[in-house]
């Protein structure tokens, strides 16, 4: 079941975001920066997004499993608890988010996130060529849904 994040479940969404973000960034971010991404901080981040018009969703499967957010046609914050990854949760959240986009779904990922890139390509996304420079050695790359599934 996928439902909107609200006051009743934002703590669960923040915990998923915190744990998953820390795990996915631990290998290339300084430990002190990773440690800043606590559930309390991520709750504020998610609340700010909701207050600005973004819709955040949470996947519940025998408990909270993952989150995703949609702002118009932009999909962000797709995070699944590390222990639940590679079980279809991310795919379910992505497909749900795509249905809630106002136009052609787009998203951005860090170029070193090969698992996410594989998921998005499998679901019909292609790289647009647009990049944001995050650091001297790391870019964020844009993907856009093409409607062509492999």
| Whether residues 147 and 98 fall in one domain | no
Q: Are residues 97 and 111 in the same domain?
A: no
CA-closest candidate to residue 69, choices 16, 114, 8? 16
Taking each helix axis from N to C end, the angle separating 114-122 and 89-99, rounded to the nearest 10 degrees, works out to 60
- If asked whether residues 98 and 112 sit together in one domain, one would say no
Identify whether residues 42 and 57 lie together within a single domain.
Answer: yes
Q: Which positions of the chain have pLDDT values less than 50?
A: 148-150
Give the CATH number of the domain where residue 50 resides. 3.40.630.30
Q: Are residues 40 and 82 in the same domain?
A: yes
Helices (H) and strands (E) in the chain, counts: 5, 7
pTM for the whole thing? 0.93
Query: Pick from 35, 59, 58: which is nearest to 46 by CA?
Result: 58
73 and 13 within one domain: yes
User: Looking up tokens 């679901």, which residue turns up?
Assistant: 123
User: Is there a single domain that holds both residue 93 and residue 138?
Assistant: no
Residue 48 CB neighbours (<10 A)? 10
Q: Give me the residue label for tokens 């990854």.
A: 85
Query: Could you tell me if 56 and 122 lie in one domain?
Result: no
Count structural domains, the chain: 2
Q: Which of 63, 86, 102 is the last residue of a domain?
A: 102
> Quick one: 21 and 70 in the same domain?
yes
**Do 54 and 127 fall into the same domain?**
no
Structural domain that includes position 119: 104-150
Predicted local confidence at residue 101, as pLDDT: 96
| Predicted confidence (pLDDT) per residue in 90-117, tens digit | 999 999 999 999 999 999 999 999 889 9
**Same domain (yes/no): 41, 58:** yes
48 and 71 belong to one structural domain: yes
């Amino acid at each position: 079941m996928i439902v909107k994040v609200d006051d009743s479940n934002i703590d669960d969404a923040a915990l998923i975001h915190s744990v998953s973000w820390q795990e996915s960034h631990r290998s290339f971010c300084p430990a002190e920066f990773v440690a800043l991404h606590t559930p309390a901080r991520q709750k504020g981040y998610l609340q700010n997004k909701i207050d600005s018009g973004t819709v955040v969703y949470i996947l519940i499967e025998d408990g909270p499993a993952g989150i995703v957010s949609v702002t118009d046609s932009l999909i962000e914050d797709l995070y699944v608890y590390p222990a639940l990854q590679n079980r279809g949760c991310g795919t379910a959240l992505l497909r749900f988010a795509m249905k809630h986009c106002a136009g052609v779904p787009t998203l951005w990922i860090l170029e070193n996130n090969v698992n996410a890139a594989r998921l998005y390509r499998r679901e019909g996304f292609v790289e647009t060529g647009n990049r944001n420079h995050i650091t001297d050695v790391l870019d964020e790359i844009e993907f856009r849904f093409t409607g062509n599934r492999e």
